[in-house]
Structure 1
Amino acid sequence: MDCWLTVPAVWSDQARHATKAAAKAAGFGSRAGDTISVISEPEAAAITVLKKYAQVGSINALQIGQVVLICDCGGGTVDITTYTIVETTPRLEFEEIVVGDGKACGSTFVDRNLHALMRERFGQAFDDVEPRRKGPGSRFMNQWESVKRSFGQSGSYLTKEIGPLNMRGVFTSEWYDDEDCLVKLTYEDVEGLFQPVVADIIGLVSDQSLELQKQWRALDRVLLVGGFGDSEYLHKKLSEWCEQNGISQAECPENPQAAIVRGAALRGLEGIAPNRRRCRRHYGVKISLPFREGIDPPSKGYTSRWSGRRSCRDRVDWLISKGDLVDQDTVRKVKICIYCRRDDDRWHKTRLVSSTLEVPPQYADDPRVDSVGTVTTDFRETNPSDFQSHREGLFGKKLWKLDFQLQVGFGSQAGVLDFKTFIKHELSGTASITFD
């Protein structure tokens, strides 16, 4: 059995690994031959909708070379990914052409805006209502969910009443029926709750379109998926943006809520996946490199115990850049040296860092560099002949040196970062990451 877990594309590497670890702890992938893999939600949704439109005879069939933006609007996050169609038959092939984007601006933020409006209008009376009567799963929020889903359809201009919500001390209010304990919401009220969230989503789509223009390319289609994707109001506003920018309209395929899980299943069953993706961040390792006079700060300089040369600490060796194309075979290697005494444990810790800036900083302690985690390499079972010896200092103590390569895999089918170690080009030792 192959288990595929869907996660928002904006999630960190730590969140992806933690989700996979939780599934394993729950019993998934516990049998010999079973696997657990992670797939991003917009990629899974893309597999579903692009496969549908790539079928022979389908309405509005995809054409080779078309540029399609997948707008995956969920409850918490919105992910934007743009693909170009490479082939439609006999097999669907597509690849990501600009770095995807995302933000926490899903449908639950409309709910938060509703609660903020309630506090503004009813103050302490709303705050005093028990969470079970106004929170997720309550009758109040279930009725609001019905209003939210239908908003934008015909008839949504009528004032809506949701409840019951018993608020003590509210007797006379144009927004509250104290006899039946119902909250009244006008069309303008509900639109005001939607507008800032929809504006954020359209902003993400617009930014992705601008990135395409830098490559002298333009959007051909926008496909709206996810639980929030079936919102009539969101669909209407996104379609208006498309018309203003020369795109026919924003299309919402049938059952947009199910597109993600269906795509994950298709990924496992048929192996459909983007040929290549775009790396969303720069990744590198904290390392010591030769000191550059006039460039590196003197405070970072030190003399190597092994070579006697001047080195610079806290430099970053950037392994892969934001926007680089990544496929399942994409790996990067960095040469690292271990210095230890003979009776020391033969292991090493390497700091993995990242950055979302266009040009990443040179030093790991720069506040704009994010620490991803610590990669621990263990060579206690390594053949001692792989080590070089060297006499050190006045006391005649020997240092032992081991040269190895740390390999980081960025395109693993498992959907998470993968680490391996090599000595003299042979797989040796173990490597694992502990996230910060």
Structure 2
Amino acid sequence: MVLTKFSELGLNESGPGQVAKTSGGSIIIVGIDFGTTFSGVAYTWSTKGDKVQVITSWDTDNYSSSNEEKTPSALSFIGEGQVNWGYSVPKDADQVKWFKLLLLDEEDLPKEVKTSSRILEARNYLRSHNRTPIEAIAVYLRCLWNHCIQRITESVSKTLVNYSKFHVVMTLPAIWPDYARCRMRVAANLAGILGHRAAGETELTFLSEPEAGAIATFADMEGRQDIKAGDTFVVVDCGGGTADVISYSVTQTDPMVVKESVKGEGGLCGAVFVDEAFVNMLKHKMQPKKWDMLSAETRQRLIHDEWEHGIKQRFDNKSNKTWSFNLPWECLAPKERLTVTSLPKVTFTSKEIEDVFNPVIEKINDLIHRQAVAVKEKYKIYPKYVILVGGFGRCKYLFEKVKAMKDRLLGEEIEVLQARGADPWTAICRGAVLHASASTGIGSIFIQVDARISRASYGVMMLDRWDPRRHKEVDKTWCEVEQVWLAKDQMDWFLREGEDISTKKPIKKSFYLTFSPNDSPTLKTMIYLTTVSPPPHRAESTVKSLCSIKWDMAVDILSLPTRTNSLGKVYHQLNFEIEMTCSGSSIDFAVIYNGKRQGSKNVAVEYSTR
């Protein structure tokens, strides 16, 4: 193919590649589901690839909570270098929650989230303790990681832990921008998760939360007689902060191979927004002055006992009943306490509880409806199942509302499934482990995601051969090396939003650089992304930097092929390839020269955290 473009990167062609698998030695796989409200961890190891263990036995003063499958995503800084976390945070302690959502830039948060009292409280708490969101997440992840290493060691032995390589898979909402993944990697590094180990460097990869939930769900469904090639499923991951919907088509059943059907969607419409709506209604019924009289411990206990483990779990709207509970004495003024004969009570109608749930559930139903319609448009048939996973995915009322929406708008041929017990709650961390165990070949439960749909466009900024029919005059620039007019700031997208991404073959493209004999052979370029569809032809405000690639070449310039421009001036040209590998939520880049992948000693890939 004749090169028609030039810059620090000159695009030539693309071709197939192969992904190298991990091999040799023992390996321990850890899946971390760091959630907005609760976090969970699962693991397996080389000889037990099909046996996924979920971490429990949390440090807590509350015995009933110690063996829960997840622990609260909560922190309380209590002194220099000291912190309580998870269940060990006392109910009356000054603490921070929801800090996962602070990883996003404020402009990427919906208006109702920005102004949420929980978000404002979290920002103020971190500001008062002089902590950034990344630092707070790192502190929490360090506590979580240390606890998990201790539990894994107690289960499999100190020797196995010390002499095994670690592969850590962290899950993230599918709707999150790429910079959030980069910030989470920084937090994981600060937390010590990537610290030096005698067995070798720890591998950290990312997986979208709905895909992890789908893998765990498909693993439970493998071998069922009602699952056949061509069936399509919509997996709905309803968590604390976000809800993501993603659809898969089964291409093979033994072993099960699936591909993403249409581009998934998501939104900040998780359970925390239901909780906040209830607290706001409770404040209104109590009157704000009385609510302010309650201590932090009393508020926490009231919400925990009466809402989270009471009304919220039992509500199903099958009867027009009322919901009541007693308020604590603290909400009464001293004079009132002398005159009343019983504890004050607050009552909610079923209609009022519906009003707490429905705004969030309507957003989730809109996501499901659009996804099912998109599947119908592409495959001429609705998906077979809508499967609810995640902590909020266990909610009975959510199940009823999704089913009612489906019956009203989509028809009875779709079935809504909701697992019971802890399975929906732990699906994300279990699915992360199954994903990695399949890719490393240590497990026989093999759920392969054959292709995904790109949620953004990725490409390079480059100089293009000037064409007045295609380019703007402002972009016209002269190239001294080739003695030609070029167009600057032009975008060349080698992966576009909505395109299928094969997980078997990385995207590999050829480029060139030009050098004068006295130049230093160094490459530094940027990879850019945009979520605008179709992506723009030239760089504009919607195009953001994803990462920089710097290659310190051990190359003798004089040994490179030469070219001659119209003035008879000779220059050297270096040909190489950049390979982009997509796996789950991870996007990785490598430089290939003379058919060999260049090592990390010479190639540095730095991701933007803005």
TM-score under structure 2 length normalisation: 0.62
Partner of residue 15, structure 1:
180
Q: 1:226 aligns with which of 390, 401, 404?
A: 390
- Tell me, in whole angstroms, the C-alpha distance in 1 between the residues paired with 2:333 and 2:313: 31
Partner of residue 301, structure 1:
476
Partner of residue 427, structure 1:
597
AA in 2 matched with 1:335: F
Segments ≥4 residues shifted beyond 6 Å: 168-172, 388-392
Deviation at 1:379, TM superposition (A): 2.2
Deviation at 1:274, TM superposition (A): 0.9
Q: What SS is found at the alignment partner of 2:481?
A: coil
The answer (yes or no) to whether the contact 1:153–1:232 under 8 Å persists in 2 is no
Q: What SS is found at the alignment partner of 1:275?
A: strand
Deviation at 1:161, TM superposition (A): 2.7
AA in 2 matched with 1:348: K
**Deviations, residues 112-165 of structure 1 (Å, cap 9, x unaligned):** 223443565567527846783587x55334532122222216668322337549
> In the alignment, is residue 265 of structure 1 matched against residue 429 of structure 2?
no
> In the alignment, is residue 38 of structure 1 matched against residue 206 of structure 2?
yes
Partner of residue 383, structure 1:
556
- Tell me, in whole angstroms, the C-alpha distance in 2 between the residues paired with 1:165 and 1:281: 54
Deviation at 1:289, TM superposition (A): 1.2
The answer (yes or no) to whether the contact 2:383–2:414 under 8 Å persists in 1 is no
The answer (yes or no) to whether the contact 1:332–1:409 under 8 Å persists in 2 is yes
AA in 2 matched with 1:241: M
- Tell me, in whole angstroms, the C-alpha distance in 2 between the residues paired with 1:302 and 1:170: 80
Deviation at 1:299, TM superposition (A): 1.0
The answer (yes or no) to whether the contact 2:563–2:573 under 8 Å persists in 1 is no
Q: What SS is found at the alignment partner of 2:582?
A: coil
Deviation at 1:330, TM superposition (A): 2.5
- Tell me, in whole angstroms, the C-alpha distance in 2 between the residues paired with 1:296 and 1:35: 44
- Tell me, in whole angstroms, the C-alpha distance in 2 between the residues paired with 1:55 and 1:85: 13
The answer (yes or no) to whether the contact 1:320–1:332 under 8 Å persists in 2 is no
- Tell me, in whole angstroms, the C-alpha distance in 2 between the residues paired with 1:56 and 1:207: 28
> In the alignment, is residue 331 of structure 1 matched against residue 494 of structure 2?
no
Deviation at 1:63, TM superposition (A): 2.3
Q: What SS is found at the alignment partner of 1:189?
A: helix
**Deviations, residues 221-272 of structure 1 (Å, cap 9, x unaligned):** 1111110011111100101122231234311023311222222222224443
Greater displacement, 178-187 / 6-15: 178-187
Q: What SS is found at the alignment partner of 2:498?
A: coil
> In the alignment, is residue 161 of structure 1 matched against residue 334 of structure 2?
no
The answer (yes or no) to whether the contact 2:560–2:573 under 8 Å persists in 1 is yes
The answer (yes or no) to whether the contact 1:279–1:324 under 8 Å persists in 2 is yes
Q: What SS is found at the alignment partner of 2:586?
A: coil
**Deviations, residues 151-210 of structure 1 (Å, cap 9, x unaligned):** 2166683223375495578999xxxx9963654332222111111100100100111122
The answer (yes or no) to whether the contact 2:515–2:521 under 8 Å persists in 1 is no
Change in 2 beyond 3 A, CA 1:385/1:283: same
Q: 2:588 aligns with which of 406, 415, 418?
A: 418
> In the alignment, is residue 114 of structure 1 matched against residue 290 of structure 2?
no
Partner of residue 73, structure 1:
238
Q: Which runs of 5+ in 1 are unaligned?
A: none
Whose helix proportion is higher, 1 or 2?
A: 2
- Tell me, in whole angstroms, the C-alpha distance in 2 between the residues paired with 1:321 and 1:408: 16
Q: What SS is found at the alignment partner of 1:306?
A: coil
Q: Which runs of 5+ in 2 are unaligned?
A: 1-27, 30-167, 438-442
Partner of residue 242, structure 1:
406
AA in 2 matched with 1:297: K
The equivalences for 1:51-70 within 5 A come to 51-56=219-224, 61-70=226-235
Deviation at 1:390, TM superposition (A): 9.0
Pairwise CA RMSD of aligned residues? 3.5
Partner of residue 253, structure 1:
419
The answer (yes or no) to whether the contact 1:49–1:253 under 8 Å persists in 2 is no
**Deviations, residues 69-125 of structure 1 (Å, cap 9, x unaligned):** 101100111111111112223x12211111111111111111222344356556752
> In the alignment, is residue 292 of structure 1 matched against residue 463 of structure 2?
no
Greater displacement, 239-248 / 28-37: 28-37
- Tell me, in whole angstroms, the C-alpha distance in 1 between the residues paired with 2:174 and 2:433: 17
Change in 2 beyond 3 A, CA 1:348/1:170: farther
Partner of residue 171, structure 2:
6
> In the alignment, is residue 407 of structure 1 matched against residue 578 of structure 2?
yes
Partner of residue 247, structure 2:
82
- Tell me, in whole angstroms, the C-alpha distance in 1 between the residues paired with 2:276 and 2:579: 40
- Tell me, in whole angstroms, the C-alpha distance in 1 between the residues paired with 2:581 and 2:374: 23
Deviation at 1:314, TM superposition (A): 1.3
Partner of residue 310, structure 1:
485
Partner of residue 92, structure 1:
256
